[in-house]
Amino acid sequence: MTDRSLLRAKCRTALDFAGTQLRHLVEIYPDFFPMYTVQGKWKHSGEAWTNWCEGFLGGQLWMMYKHTGDAYWRAKAEHYSRLVEHRKTDRNVHDLGFVFWSSWKRWYDLTGDDRLKAVIVEAGQTMGLRFKEKGQYLRSFVADESLFIDIMMNVGIIYYAALQTQDADLLRIANQHCLTTRKTLVRGDGSTAHEGIFDLETGEFLRQSTHQGWRGDSSWARGLTWALYGFGTAYSFSGDVRFLQTAEACANFYMERTPDHGVPPNDWDEPNPAYPYESSAAAIAASGLLNLAKLTGDPARARLYEGYALRIVDTLTEPEFLAVETPGWEGILKHGMYHERKSLGVDESVMWGEHFFMEALCKVLGYA
């Protein structure tokens, strides 16, 4: 693999390129929140399925400000963050962590302004309203009986709101959701299911299912990386070692089942997948593994996680993935996958892939 100083140079080049692509996006399509490209273009008539990506652009703009110190990026970051403030009371999605942690939390961390913190706390409290006492989980956007693995990336904002307001019941909700997800969606081999279905009358767990993976009993790659990253976050808030163990089990599965370059297919179990890569899962894994390297108390495991994360970053900063040599492509990272069954964002750039790729680059460079 590339040595450390060369890798850092690749990360700086990739962030510079991200700046070029982001400037194009916000200048050409002002106040537009893209989700995935179609043939490399952000603006198209493809459906969204659900609204969960609106914080990623603000988050990317905050990271560009960190990378450059240029007031242009700060003004854009504040603007795009303000545009999503009304979502703090949105009860239609399970994604308020994605929306506010990416954007407003970065803004708050920079300023320490309590008015910004209040918005994040309110979003966390709104997320807590999704809790189903029968079943002990936060319901997904699709139905009351549905639990998604993705929600592990949105439970952190509930922990945050609970701890900031010393709300013991909200803390219970966050912990119980993680325990239920661990019990019903994470398997003995460290793989994860996308969705769990519950009996609404009794709260009984009925079965595993999927929307974006191959089958209910298979391993959708992005879902596993949401778990890898999210259980690490749950451990950092709760100190519950079961969550660290779960994150590490997911990390082990990822490292064992993925080719040496570090980029998985959309689902590890699907025979002969039509597309070899799901780059957004790799970006999330890289950033989550860099978190785990700091969370684990074991120096050997820390080296393993960091080394693997750097391998992913090395791969994703090559022109096969970084769109730097693809004229006319508006995204940063190619070969992402949103929803293959619905033919949405297949082998394209996807906003969460861009966001977590940039986050991993920033971590390698010591910005985050």
Q: Applying CB under 6 A, which residues contact ligand GLY?
A: 52, 150, 212, 222, 338
Cβ-based nearer residue to ligand GLY, 56 or 65: 56
Cβ-based nearer residue to ligand GLY, 195 or 314: 195
Q: Which ranges constitute the DSSP H helices of 208-348?
A: 221-238, 241-257, 279-295, 299-316
Cβ-based nearer residue to ligand GLY, 141 or 198: 141
Nearest distance from residue 123's CB to ligand GLY, in Å?
17
Nearest distance from residue 19's CB to ligand GLY, in Å?
25
Directed axis angle between helix 279-295 and helix 299-316, to 10°?
150
Cβ-based nearer residue to ligand GLY, 146 or 296: 146
Cβ-based nearer residue to ligand GLY, 52 or 253: 52
C-beta of residue 132 within 8 angstroms of C-beta of residue 144: yes
Nearest distance from residue 336's CB to ligand GLY, in Å?
10
C-alpha span between 327 and 332 (Å, rounded): 12
Q: Token pair for residue 272?
A: 């002969």
Cβ-based nearer residue to ligand GLY, 150 or 354: 150
Closest to 1 in 3D by CA, of 357, 316, 221: 316
Q: Tell me which residue has its CB nearest to ligand GLY.
A: 150
Nearest distance from residue 90's CB to ligand GLY, in Å?
15
Nearest distance from residue 278's CB to ligand GLY, in Å?
10
Directed axis angle between helix 54-68 and helix 4-28, to 10°?
120
Asked whether the CA dihedral 96, 138, 354, 331 is positive or negative, the reply is negative
C-alpha span between 135 and 194 (Å, rounded): 17
Cβ-based nearer residue to ligand GLY, 135 or 223: 223
Cα separation values, 95 from 128, 151, 302, 323, Å: 11, 7, 29, 28
C-beta of residue 26 within 8 angstroms of C-beta of residue 76: yes
DSSP run (H or E) holding 157 = helix 156-165
Nearest distance from residue 46's CB to ligand GLY, in Å?
14
C-alpha span between 284 and 286 (Å, rounded): 5
Closest to 340 in 3D by CA, of 288, 276, 282: 276
Name, in order, each residue with C-beta under 8 angstroms of 166's C-beta and a sequence gap of 6 or more: none
Nearest distance from residue 317's CB to ligand GLY, in Å?
22
Cβ-based nearer residue to ligand GLY, 36 or 159: 36
Nearest distance from residue 349's CB to ligand GLY, in Å?
14
